[in-house]
């Protein structure tokens, strides 16, 4: 039995942050399982303010959560915290959200880097050019240098390949997929037959929700009762709301904002198809979550999503906007196709669990060095099946 360990995880946000997403779910779902096994887990993250988190520091699911700083200053606070307190911990898990916390510069403790995806050109879609250039430079040049002798976890093969392109040694990288909570969703033949589409995730410019909204007028011509449910929030939400009004499709779209798990399950359970027009993802956790509700997915053929979606089995990958719209029409208008894809989607989603994700990540943390973790075998779902 592994002796209890003290693990410090550094992450941009906590689950109470209004813009929390897949990275936060990934960390906290794993961390609470480590805590349940008797390990002492601390998460250091930015502070969303008392409106969202009533306490600055608290214990959640057995995890000690410390909140300091804002969107950018959290990195400074984390560096100070590491310098003063890293001696208290056995391992450091450094979660990169664009850029990591550069834990090896401030602590001698064994550290592991967790990367969801390499942002590359996304920097320039989200930030002003000076800030985007800095982020791009840090990600492409400094991160590989700082972590060249540290184990790295990637959430998908596409993330691994992108990391290798930046200079991270391939043998140091371990692919560990996100998990999902089992939903017990019914098989696809029980879908109500509604012409509903769903998007669940952050509303950011690189998610390209504007493309999806612009498809509604044409889809409305074919399916007069078509409806798009958008669940989530983000800094691009005002632009999306304005576009909906500009196109006159208000009666065909509901922007729910942030939703709880019950509401999310309701949205995904009613949807004939999950639509995600993102330009790039590390993996596509939202796709697998939709699949777990028996909902097939449509996306562009881009990194991450081309792995999360089994083309022509659990969903469809589109080459361009016309392909995307036609793929949506398949699931909105063809009940037989919807049932067939739904059954495959449910089977695909069942392969991903938080238990296996947490166990694999913990093993990398426990070993704590590239020379030893390089011998670990990844127990990955069969992506070719």
Q: Tell me the pLDDT of the chain (385 aa) as tens digits.
A: 678 999 999 999 999 998 888 889 999 999 999 999 999 999 999 999 999 999 999 999 999 999 999 989 999 999 999 999 999 999 999 999 889 999 999 999 999 999 998 988 878 878 899 999 999 999 999 999 999 999 999 999 989 999 999 999 999 999 999 998 877 655 444 567 789 999 999 899 999 999 999 999 999 999 999 999 999 988 899 999 999 999 999 999 999 998 988 999 999 999 999 999 999 888 888 999 999 999 999 999 998 899 999 999 999 999 999 999 999 999 999 999 999 999 999 999 999 999 999 999 999 999 988 766 555 555 555 554 5
Mark whether 115 and 73 lie in a shared domain.
yes
**Number of folded domains that form the chain:** 2
Contacts of 272 by beta carbon, 8 Å cutoff, 6+ apart: 191, 193, 194, 195, 196, 197, 295, 331, 332, 338
Note whether 84 and 29 are same-domain residues: yes
Q: Examine residue 57 and state whether it is found in any structural domain, yes or no.
A: yes
385 within domain boundaries: no
**277: domain range?**
188-349
Region label for 95, one of left (φ > 0), alpha (ψ between -120 and 50) or beta (otherwise):
beta
Q: What is the pLDDT of residue 210?
A: 97
Q: Is residue 383 part of a domain?
A: no
Residue with tokens 């792995």: 307
169 shares a domain with 247: no
Q: Is 378 part of any domain?
A: no
Kindly report each contact of residues 368-376 with a partner whose C-beta sits within 8 Å and lies 24 or more positions away, as own/partner.
368/91, 368/110, 368/112, 368/151, 369/110, 369/151, 370/149, 370/150, 370/151, 370/169, 370/171, 370/172, 373/151, 373/172, 373/174, 374/171, 374/172, 376/174
Co-location of 122 and 209 in the same domain: no
Residue 78: inside a domain, yes or no? yes
**Quick one: pLDDT at residue 332?**
97
Tell me the three state secondary structure of residue 144.
helix
258 and 109, same domain (yes or no): no
Q: b vs e for 252-272, b when ≥16 Cβ sit within 10 Å of the residue's Cβ?
A: bbebeebbeeeebbebbbbbb
Q: What are phi and psi of 42, to 5 degrees?
A: -125, 130
Q: Check whether residue 359 and residue 218 sit in a common domain.
A: no
Pair 63, 141 in one domain: yes
- Same-domain check for residues 325 and 224: yes
DSSP state of 350: T
- On whether both 127 and 212 belong to a single domain, the answer is no
* 380 located within any domain: no
pLDDT at 119: 86
Same domain assignment for residues 242 and 344? yes
Which two tokens mark 135? Answer: 């982020």
Q: What is the pLDDT at residue 383?
A: 56
Phi, psi (degrees; rounded to nearest 5) at 377: -100, 130
- What is the DSSP secondary structure assignment for residue 92, as one 8-state letter? E
d(CA 249, CA 375): 55
Torsion of CA 116, 167, 363, 89, to 10 degrees: -90
pTM (two decimals): 0.83
Query: Do the domain assignments include residue 379?
Result: no
Tell me, yes or no, whether 262 and 279 share the same domain. yes
* Same domain as 297, residue 329: yes
The pLDDT of residue 184 is: 62
Which CATH number is 164's domain given?
3.40.50.2000
């Amino acid at each position: 039995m592994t002796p209890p360990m003290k693990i410090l995880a550094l992450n941009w946000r906590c689950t109470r942050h209004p813009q929390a997403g897949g990275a936060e779910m990934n960390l906290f779902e794993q961390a609470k399982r480590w805590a349940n096994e008797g390990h002492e887990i601390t998460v250091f993250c930015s502070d969303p303010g008392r409106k969202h988190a009533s306490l600055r520091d608290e214990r959640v699911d057995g995890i000690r959560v410390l909140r300091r700083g804002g969107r950018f200053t959290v990195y400074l606070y984390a560096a100070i915290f590491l310098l003063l307190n890293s001696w208290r911990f056995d391992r450091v898990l450094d979660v990169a959200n664009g850029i990591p916390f550069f834990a090896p510069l401030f602590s001698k403790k064994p550290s592991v880097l967790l990367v969801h995806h390499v942002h590359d050109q996304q920097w320039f879609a989200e930030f002003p050019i000076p800030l985007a250039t800095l982020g791009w430079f840090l990600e492409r040049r400094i991160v590989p240098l700082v972590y060249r002798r540290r184990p790295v976890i990637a959430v998908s093969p596409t993330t691994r390949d992108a990391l290798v392109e930046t200079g991270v040694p391939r043998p140091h990288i371990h692919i560990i997929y996100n998990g999902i909570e089992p939903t017990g969703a019914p098989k696809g033949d029980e879908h109500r037959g509604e012409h509903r589409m769903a998007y669940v995730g952050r509303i950011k410019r690189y998610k390209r929700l504007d493309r999806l909204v612009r498809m509604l007028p044409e889809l409305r011509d074919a399916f007069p009762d078509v409806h798009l449910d958008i669940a989530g929030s983000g800094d691009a939400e005002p632009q999306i709301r304005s576009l909906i009004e500009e196109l006159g499709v208000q009666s065909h779209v509901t922007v729910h904002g942030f939703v709880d798990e019950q509401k999310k399950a309701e949205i995904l359970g009613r949807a004939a198809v999950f639509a995600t027009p993102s330009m790039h993802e590390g993996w596509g956790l939202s796709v697998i979550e939709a699949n777990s509700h028996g909902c097939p997915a449509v996306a562009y053929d881009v990194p991450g999503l081309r792995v999360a979606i089994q083309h022509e089995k659990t969903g469809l990958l589109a080459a361009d906007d016309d392909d995307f719209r036609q793929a949506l029409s398949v699931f909105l208008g063809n009940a037989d196709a919807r049932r067939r894809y739904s059954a495959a989607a449910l089977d695909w989603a069942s392969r991903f669990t938080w238990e296996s994700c947490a166990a694999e990540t913990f093993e990398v943390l426990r070993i704590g060095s590239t020379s030893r973790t390089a011998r670990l075998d990844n127990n990955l779902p069969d992506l070719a099946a």
